[in-house]
Amino acid sequence: MIDPAKFALFIGVSWALIIAPGPDMFYVITRGMAHGRRAGILSAIGVVCGILVHTTAAAFGLTLILQTSVFAFLLVKYVGAAYLVYLGIKAWREKSTFSLETPALIVKSHTLFWQGVLSNVLNPKIGIFFLAFLPQFIDKGSSHGTMQMIILGLTFACFGLCFLFMVGYFSGTVGGWLRHRPRYAQFFQRLAGGILIGLGIRLAVAER
């Protein structure tokens, strides 16, 4: 059983981390603005599922592979960076996303979801972060350390889903507003693409 005091501290720290602007938030905002509320919400769900992958890996020690293997870390990092840059270039070049003749539903649900998952899973720094973060709140003398880390990971993911769900919804509202104002739409479309490209470059040049 997790100590109540540690769990309360974990909740406070988790919310502080979740609401701080970061790659996940920016990713959900760009997808929501580009394709509407539905896209923002599905992207948020995908990102949180990616968080679950990282927390589960941390709980079972799989993230140690990324921490100890330079090759594995660099491989995942550069694949993730290339993927974000690809999404950014695609968004930058797309000229019809905000067009009134192009509804947001044109983007398939599973595509939006899996793009969200991959944008998170392919960032090895997130996995290593959870490997360092979660153990600080478990009972070191307990024989159920793995289960405690899973519970903490699920709790963090639930909080993240609540917050990113709202971010996706309201960014989709902005996207809907832009669809009726094509004069500004292209600027924000390219801004969204530029943010994704920037996130990819940031991941590529980040130190191990």
What digits encode the pLDDT tens for the residues 118-148?
Answer: 988 888 878 877 877 888 888 766 667 788 8
Domain ranges of the chain: 24-205
Cα separation, 187 vs 77, whole angstroms: 29
Cα separation, 62 vs 108, whole angstroms: 32
DSSP string, 42-93: HHHHHHHHHHHHHHHHHHTTTHHHHHH-HHHHHHHHHHHHHHHHHHHHHHHH
Name the region of 36 (left: φ>0; alpha: ψ -120 to 50; beta: rest).
left
pLDDT digits (tens, 9 = 90+) for 29-62: 888 887 888 889 999 999 999 999 988 888 887 7
